C-alpha cells in the first residue's frame, strides 16, 4: 500500500466516488456532455513511480468545458520545493485530492471551482480545500445561496468567518489592483483539528456540500436568455481567470512543479477567452455592477445587498 495509513487510502477512495457522482449529476443536466477519461501515471522527482490520477475532461453544451480530476501522488519531491511546502529535511510526499472547474456556456451561469485535498509530508498530514464562485451576471440571490450553503456547512467547525476571509484573500489578481477572480466562497489550508480519521471525515463531509452549493444555480440559470454583451463580459472575465490561474494560483504551480500532468492541471483554463487593452464594461451597465462584486463583501448581510 502506498498510502501512509488506511485513512489516507479511505480519503482517496471517497474522492473517487465523489468524482463519479459529480460527473453523473452533470451528465443528467447536459445529455450530450463529452467525458474524456484519462487515467495517468507519473514519476516522482527521483524518477520512481509516483502514483497518478484520473482526469475527466468535460465538453458539452451546458458545460462548455471543464474538468473533474482526482489524483493520488507520492514519492520524492524536489527538495527545494519540499522546503517551500514546509517540509524542511523531509521530502517524502503523499497527496490525494479532487479538483473541479466548470466553465458553463451560458454567461448567466457562474463558473465554479472546488478542491479538497489531503497532504502528507514526512510524518505530518494536513487538509486543504474550498469552493469559490465566479459569476458574470449579478444574480445576487445565487451568490447568497452559494455563500449560505458553505456558511452552514462550516457552522459545526466555527470556521466560516476565517475561511470566507481566506477565500477573499486568496483568489485575488494582485496585479489588477486587488480585484478578486470572482465572489469568493471558502478556502482553507494546513488544517487539522482532531484525530486523522475525524479530520478526514470532516473534510469529506464538507466536500459533499459542493453539489448542493452549485446545482440549484446551474438548474435555475442554464436555459436563461442572454445577449452579446453578457457573452463579451464573460469572455473578458475568463481572461482574468487565466491571469489568476497562471500568475498566482498555488495549486497550478504545485502541480506543474511536482511533475503533475500538464493537460490535467491546465484543464482549468477556459475554452474561449478574450483579452483587450483596458477593456471594461459600459459605465452604468449591469456588468459594471457585477465588477463591483469582485471585492470582499458579506453576501449574507441583508443590509449589504
Contact status: 35 vs a copy of itself (CB under 8 A):
no
Q: How far is the CB of 23 from a copy of itself (least distance, A)?
A: 14
- Which window, 5-13, 191-199, 271-279, 291-299, contacts a copy of itself (CB under 8 A)? 271-279
- For a copy of itself, give the closer residue by CB, 180 or 186: 180
20 burial class (0-12, 13-18, 19+ CB within 10 angstroms)? Answer: middle
Out of 33, 273, 288, 300, which residue is the one contacting a copy of itself (CB under 8 A)?
273
Out of 39, 212, 224, 275, which residue is the one contacting a copy of itself (CB under 8 A)?
275
The per-residue b/e assignment along 51-73, b for 16 or more CB within 10 angstroms, e otherwise, is bbbbbbbbbbebbbbbbbbbbbb
Whether 45 is catalytic = no
Check: CB of residue 66 under 8 Å from CB of residue 267.
Answer: yes
- For a copy of itself, give the closer residue by CB, 40 or 126: 40
**Spatial separation of the C-alpha atoms in residues 8 and 120, rounded to whole Å:** 9
Residues 207-266 that bind a copy of itself (CB under 8 A): 239, 242-243, 246-247, 256, 262-263, 266
Q: Which residues pair with 38 in a beta bridge?
A: 55
Q: Provide the sign of the torsion angle of the four alpha carbons 116, 122, 125, 130, taken in this order.
A: negative
DSSP label at residue 275: -
Contact status: 300 vs a copy of itself (CB under 8 A):
no
Residue 209: count other Cβ atoms within 10 Å of its Cβ. 17
- Which window, 130-138, 173-181, 205-213, 297-305, contacts a copy of itself (CB under 8 A)? 173-181
Q: Which of 113, 139, 147, 287 is catalytic?
A: 113
Check: CB of residue 267 under 8 Å from CB of residue 38.
Answer: no
Check: CB of residue 109 under 8 Å from CB of residue 137.
Answer: no
Out of 271, 285, 286, 295, which residue is the one contacting a copy of itself (CB under 8 A)?
271
Residues contributing to the site for a copy of itself (CB under 8 A) = 36, 38, 57, 59, 65, 67, 175-177, 239, 242-243, 246-247, 256, 262-263, 266-267, 269-278
Positions annotated as catalytic residues are 113
Amino acid at each position: 500500500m502506498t498510502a501512509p495509513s488506511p485513512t489516507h487510502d479511505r480519503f482517496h477512495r471517497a474522492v473517487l466516488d465523489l468524482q463519479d457522482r459529480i460527473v453523473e449529476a452533470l451528465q443528467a443536466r447536459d445529455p450530450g456532455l463529452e467525458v474524456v477519461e484519462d487515467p495517468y501515471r507519473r514519476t516522482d522527482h527521483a524518477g520512481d513511480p509516483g502514483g497518478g490520477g484520473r482526469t475527466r475532461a468535460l465538453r458539452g453544451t451546458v458545460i462548455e468545458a471543464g474538468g473533474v480530476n482526482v489524483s493520488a501522488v507520492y514519492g520524492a519531491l524536489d527538495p527545494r520545493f519540499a522546503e517551500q511546502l514546509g517540509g524542511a529535511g523531509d521530502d517524502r510526499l503523499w497527496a490525494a485530492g479532487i479538483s473541479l472547474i466548470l466553465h458553463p456556456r451560458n454567461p448567466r451561469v457562474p463558473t465554479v471551482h472546488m478542491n479538497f485535498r489531503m497532504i502528507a509530508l514526512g510524518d505530518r498530514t494536513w487538509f486543504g480545500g474550498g469552493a469559490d464562485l465566479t459569476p458574470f451576471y449579478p444574480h445576487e440571490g445565487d451568490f447568497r445561496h452559494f455563500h449560505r450553503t458553505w456558511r452552514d456547512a462550516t457552522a459545526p467547525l466555527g470556521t466560516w468567518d476565517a475561511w470566507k476571509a481566506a477565500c477573499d484573500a486568496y483568489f485575488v489578481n494582485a496585479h489588477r489592483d486587488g480585484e478578486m477572480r470572482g465572489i469568493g466562497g471558502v478556502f482553507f489550508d494546513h488544517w487539522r483539528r482532531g484525530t486523522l480519521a475525524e479530520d478526514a471525515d470532516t473534510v469529506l463531509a464538507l466536500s459533499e456540500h459542493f453539489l448542493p452549493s452549485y446545482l440549484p444555480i446551474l438548474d435555475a440559470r442554464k436555459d436563461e436568455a442572454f445577449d452579446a454583451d453578457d457573452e463579451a463580459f464573460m469572455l473578458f472575465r475568463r481572461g482574468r481567470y487565466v491571469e489568476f490561474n497562471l500568475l498566482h494560483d498555488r495549486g497550478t504551480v504545485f502541480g506543474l512543479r511536482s511533475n503533475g500532468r500538464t493537460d490535467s492541471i491546465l484543464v482549468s483554463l477556459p475554452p474561449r477567452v478574450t483579452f483587450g487593452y483596458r477593456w471594461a464594461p459600459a459605465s452604468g451597465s449591469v456588468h459594471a455592477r457585477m465588477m463591483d462584486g469582485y471585492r470582499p463583501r458579506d453576501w449574507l448581510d441583508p443590509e449589504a445587498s
